Structure 1
């Protein structure tokens, strides 16, 4: 038996892990499953949701029409789930909860990624705004219509807490944004302790998101030719890893160099987070999950050195990938399509499918109708949004 096999065996949960058997329950009480824990059930409901399937055809950075090998929002989400599970296992946390939070974290993204969100934010400025994290909560508590007894997915308190607070507290001195109205509405019905940090499983999912998109955007950017290996080697953290690959494998073909580099980026980030989390946990000595929430800072985090390295990677990608002329051209065209569709649907709800048109007209208020339109557009895939724009406007979009 190899060391790798023995390390992969699941350990008993740490005392500070969230325990599915002690879950705070669901908004709508249900009979427990005979075959799955509460957190396994959450994960499975997310996997089977319509919103999750649509991620396959939503932009991460590249519009899926650009090619078959770039990440979509779905493949990104799957990678986040894998990293979150790896962190949870190493820290003796509940892997199913970490994965559930990871798989749900991007459900609220509209078509065309951040370009679509920017456009909807402008369109909804008079009507309460738009935020993909808020939209994800709307999806799992209201917009999914699959079950006979309720709207949404009726997820556990712990999964909802992770979805809402994976980036930190929303009230109090550690809050980084103003509390969105829908978060407050859900919290009033099902208090989520918005002034505390989330559990360690949600923290694992949040940092897994950072690790995944930094690594795969390096991969996708290199493969797309947006920047070269020589250019990204100027980032010290990446340059050292690239030198390691080229020293070990002189003359290696470029595609394999890129993969060897990407896997090392993920490995170094993951190993650093595990080491740093173990050090913070050893200092805190938490006895319960509540101790994690009350710690006053995240327990699952990068070390100061790696945090600086991660910021360097982000800065490079922002300048050389996210602001690349090829990407910006697509973003501008996508933003224009969403900006045209929103007022068209708001002024003529009948342009939407019958169910959505009925919801918009039944609301009786422009703000509520606007929210229906935003929900409809946010649920679109890239391809569907483009087709609707072409069909209704008569204009062609070349991405």
Structure 2
């Protein structure tokens, strides 16, 4: 099934002409509202910092592993492909893909776990919510507002691309626990993102594109790093079948090319399945607008049942073989120590932060959030440099 050609805009796509607008009204000019969102994200400081933030391997382990930036660009490419095949708004899908990891602290999920533990008494830390905080408050570049003043649709997608955060009455759901993340609560006080509904279709596309990108590319990086071998993938549904196809077609192909051919075919299979399943669900639900998508009660953009099983198997393989590999664990344990040390230091001596980050006389909860914002914005390299500045022993993370 070919998905490369553009299709007429679906009636259930988000339309920039009918955007719910920006918190601070602006004239849109020649670019669409969603294209402007995309461009603002690309030009943000937080986006540039992704270049030196860990995906799985810290920056100095090798030049060819994914960083948080290259992962983000790959998610954006997949999101545009799916959006194009479905007749959705490609610019909005891209904007959401580009923004989805802006709130990640240094050292990937290890850094997030450490920062969340440090913030346990102050509302916790969540990288998805931090992405919203970055684009609504922490980016300070424009004369007329803090943040990037993105459209309602982009902010909605950042906040709830993984699904509703509350029930209709406002009670938090699922993984959000007893309370909503701090950044979500703070922004909800000034703008209603309708946290009880599903996100629009382009946000759902960005979310599933993230899954596709890190599943396939973490397999690629894990193979490159020698954490596991190609033959170990033979037992995985879908992956094993694709590997057999490639080997049957090119029995003497060098291993590096085999890996690339398998990975590109996996992305194609995932994308084609999402397009087919989404079109099936859209017809069954008789959706006619993005409002219908939000009110559908279940995600519209999804894998088929068979592909969900295959995708879960990939995640199930990567967890012990990569994310919990002894080498990765050792490095990430050391990285968590760096984050904990920095948090304790800046809480005790906030004057050590740059002048524009200091809050003289602030109460502990506000100071803790300030320190978390500062650390979350650090690149891996800057965090290590700051640690070496204040502590006698800084891990090399190798």
Give me the TM-score of the superposition, normalised by structure 2.
0.96
Q: Is contact 1:277–1:301 with CA below 8 Å preserved after alignment?
A: yes
1:19 matched to 2:19? The reply is no
For residues 30-89 of structure 1, the C-alpha deviation after alignment (integer angstroms, 9 at most, x for no partner) is 1122x2000000000000000000000000000011000000000000000000001100
Q: Which residue in 1 is equivalent to 2:369?
A: 371
Counterpart CA distance in 1 for 2:306 and 2:7 is 29
- Partner in structure 1 of residue 56 of structure 2: 61
Maintained 8 Å contact 2:88/2:202: yes
Paired position in structure 1 for 2:121: 126
| Unmatched 5+ stretches in structure 1 | none
Query: Match of 2:45?
Result: 50
Q: Does 1:145 find its partner at 2:140?
A: yes
Contact map agreement 2:7 2:86 (CA 8 A) in 1: no
Matched, 1:202 2:197: no
Q: Using the alignment, how far apart are the partners of 2:292 and 2:62 within structure 1? A: 46
C-alpha distance in structure 1 between counterparts of 2:237 and 2:283, whole Å: 30
In 1, distance between residues paired with 2:265 and 2:150?
35
Give yes or no for the alignment of 1:382 onto 2:346: no
Secondary structure of 1:236's match?
coil
Structure 1 runs of 4+ off > 6 angstroms? none
Contact 1:93 1:200 in 2 (8 A): yes
Match of 1:29 in 2: 25
- In the TM superposition, 1:184-195 aligns within 5 A as 184-195=185-196
2:5–2:85 Cα contact (<8 Å) kept: no
The verdict on how the C-alpha distance between 1:8 and 1:72 changes in structure 2, with shifts beyond 3 A counting, is: same
Structure 1 contact 168–175 (Cα < 8 Å) conserved: no
Shift of 1:308: 0.7
Aligned-pair Cα RMSD in Å = 1.4
Matches within 5 A, 1:226-265: 226-265=227-266
Name the residue aligned to 1:396.
394
Which blocks of at least 5 consecutive residues in structure 2 are unaligned? Answer: none
Of residues 257-266 and 69-78 in structure 1, the stretch that sits farther from structure 2 once superposed is: 257-266
The superposition leaves residues 82-131 of structure 1 with CA deviations (integer Å, 9 ceiling, x where unpaired) of 00001100110000000001100000000000010011011111111100
| Paired residue secondary structure (2:248) | helix
